[in-house]
Chains A and B, each alone.
Chain A
Amino acid sequence: MNEIGDFIPRKRSQNLLIVEGNHEKNIIFRQLFKCFPELNIDMDDIWIYGTNIYVLYNDIVKEYGEDWNVEDVDLPFVISKKQYLNQRRYKDDFVNIILVFDYERHDPNFSEEKIMILQEYFNDMANVGQLYINYPMIESYQDIECIPDDNYIDKKVSVTINPGRKYKALVNNSPIKKIIELPEKMIEILIEKLFVSEEDGEVCVKELLNLSSDESLKQEIGKELEVISKKNIITVQFQFEDLIRKLNYINRNISYWAYLREVFQDLIKMNLKKAVRIQNSPLKNFNNYRDLYNALDLTDVLKQQNSMSSDFKNGYIWILNTCLFIVVDYNMNLLINDSKL
């Protein structure tokens, strides 16, 4: 029903993140957007839509027909039409549309052809949207032994390993996991040991992770804890100090966020090298990361991955995380200048 006079002012500069249904995975985006404020994407002010890549494919076909990829596909429109009864949202109000999906070779709907059409079409996050496929799944960014990891470039996984629990178990001891999950872990401890609310915990941890002085770390932790709890904080204080010191950043007098930014930068570099290697370009041909980035071609990566993994018995998938490329797709200088937070 169209109600005249019910004028809703247009809201521009919105962001849309289309991901697999599973929301626990979104922690990486929260951290990524926090570490790169230049992207201007606030995780709390973003439209997150959970779906499956083939469901999305069908939704697009339903709206635009089989030849949809010659049309000007408006994803916010397609999704809002499906999600809401009478609210429509349009591409023209979105500055970034980001699609992140797992490779899902084992999905019964898997189609080399469809996934390729999607990868070719969604190639600009500032316009129609950018598709990032992670191989074999988003956790691939954790699949390293150390930072940086020279072995990562050759790392692959057998097609026989289903993504999901099995692969996740493989990366369970990753050093990245410990780093990226630190805020969650600290909040959990606060809730469990000091019985604070989740909200208070979040505020406190945000402050704690901004700490950057090696010398006064312990006292500062104590001060922050005393703000939210009247209980005995000494055990938690020690525990937090230990957790932070183990990550080896406070000894350089930088904050957790500055450190995580560096970690992301290293991960992006490793994955850039890896992607170009998957494309069969010899790394020695490149002088710098910008050249490497310019050679990056996600459809070529997908083509190679499809061909490597087509044999269901002996085939393999190169480990690769592409969703981190959001940062370099936005601005390559974010990789080079590592300004402190």
Chain B
Amino acid sequence: MLKRFELRNFKNFKDDIVVDFSKTGGYKYNTDCITNDMIGKMLIYGRNATGKTNLGKAIMDINHEIISSFSLYDDYIVNADISDGKIYYSYCFVFDTDEVIYNYFKNGSGKLISEKFLINNKKIFECNFENMKFDFKNLKQIAAQTVNSDIYTNAYLFDNDEQTSSELPFLKWLLGNAVFPKESVMIKLRSYIESMSYLTVGGLEGIVLRRRYKRYYDILEDRNELVNFEKFLNEMGVECSLTLEKLPDGQNELYFKHKKPIPFLENASSGTIALMNLYFRFVQKFRLMSFIYLDEFDAFYHYEMADNLVKYFKKNFENTQIIMTTHNTNLMTNRLMRPDCIFILSRWGSLTALCDATERELREGHNLEKMYISGEFEKYE
């Protein structure tokens, strides 16, 4: 699990911003917000333009660096007020009893400058791409017997042509080229990073990608899948029944079931379309996601639906760490969440849990939404 994420100089975050999943407040209720003593379900509030989206993109950076090499951002990523533009990322993971720390620096255009990898506070390797210094002395600690790091370094020292990307992180190379024992922490790390995901529910709406929906419809050809999807929509408060028809050209088309069927895509509300995207990204496949960042996750939802969705996540994604950003203060409640799992992102880029944003002892009976609105946490907004 991700225990701690630290970021510096990224976009609007001039100072350090820390997301600490291990800092729980010991509340005895809504324990389903907590997974293995860490925050499992987190809500982030903040005024507009405080960086909720940026924070999500930054956390996902490790996934892009190590797994997909596809980047969510390609413009300026360094803070515009910092002269020596180095962005610092630090991830601390916990897998059973092992603590894994991976830190790296990037420059303003996203090029890797250095990386450092530690297990249980012991340095396993360190690479500095500026002065080409590499330290692989402790690789044997992770039982990476088969790995020949010379292959990696040779690529840098002697093969400096265009074909080798000077940005290939050693961690990525290692995870792809070494053979680790099954129970190795490296296997767990890889699978965690691989299963991280980011979704802007709001942003997807409006761009009707027919291709995407065609894929969804193909899945729904399975009668059970159609029933499940319908059930999900009903559970979220969208009362409807669905039917899938094959058009003469062999394409599937989804309809709301009525005397005269109504085409789904053209007639479904923004909220329903958003739900559909969410469903096919996460729910339907029920992939074992490790981490999901849902940006503005309920922008199109009625407050009851947003409520249902959070409950749904808590019930069905028990082991997934989910961060949801929202402006919906109705979710800021002890019915659903707890003060150590609700955060405020301030205008100057600090992230504070409600229980740390006031001197008042926050208790289960408190009306957190009202307190937020009346300025209880004003100093941290």
Contacts and interface: CB of A to CB of B under 8 A. Distances in A.
Interface in A185-244: none
Interface stretch (B135-143, B166-174, B369-377): B369-377
Contacts of A124: 365-367
B371 A95 contact: yes
Contacts of A83: none
B360 interface: yes
A93 B376 CA distance: 9
Interface in A26-47: 38-40
A91 B378 contact: no
Nearest to B368: A126
Contacts of B367: 124, 126-127
Interface residues of B, number: 13
B359 interface: yes
Contact of B375 (A38, A95, A127): A95
A91 B370 contact: yes
Q: Which of A126, A332, A333 has the most CB of B within 10 A?
A: A126
Contact of B360 (A13, A14, A94, A330): A330
B374 A331 contact: no
A14 B373 CA distance: 12
Interface residues of A, number: 18
A88 interface: no
B183 interface: no
Contact of A127 (B359, B361, B366, B378): B366
Contacts of B375: 12-14, 93, 95
Given A12-B375, A13-B376, A126 B359 contact: no
Interface in A283-341: 330-333
Interface in B339-381: 359-361, 365-367, 370-371, 373-376, 378
A126 B361 contact: no
Given A95-B371, A126-B367, A12 B378 contact: yes
A331 B360 contact: yes
Contacts of A40: 359
Contacts of A93: 374-375
B378 A126 contact: no
A92 interface: yes
B361 A92 contact: no
Contact of A330 (B361, B365, B371, B373): B361
Contacts of B359: 38-40, 330-331
A93 B370 CA distance: 9
A14 to B, nearest CB: 8
Interface in A120-146: 124, 126-127
Contacts of A126: 360, 366-367, 370-371, 374, 376
Q: Which of B361, B367, B378 has the most CB of A within 10 A?
A: B361
A38 B361 CA distance: 11
Nearest to A94: B374
Interface string B50-85: 000000000000000000000000000000000000
A227 to B, nearest CB: 33
Interface in A60-106: 91-95
Nearest to B376: A95
Contacts of B370: 91-92, 126-127
6 contacts: A12-B374, A92-B373, A93-B375, A126-B360, A126-B376, A127-B367
Interface of A: 12-14, 38-40, 91-95, 124, 126-127, 330-333
Given A13-B374, A13-B376, A330-B360, 4 more contacts: A12-B378, A126-B366, A127-B366, A331-B361
A-B pairs, 3 with minimum CB distance: A12-B375, A13-B375, A331-B361
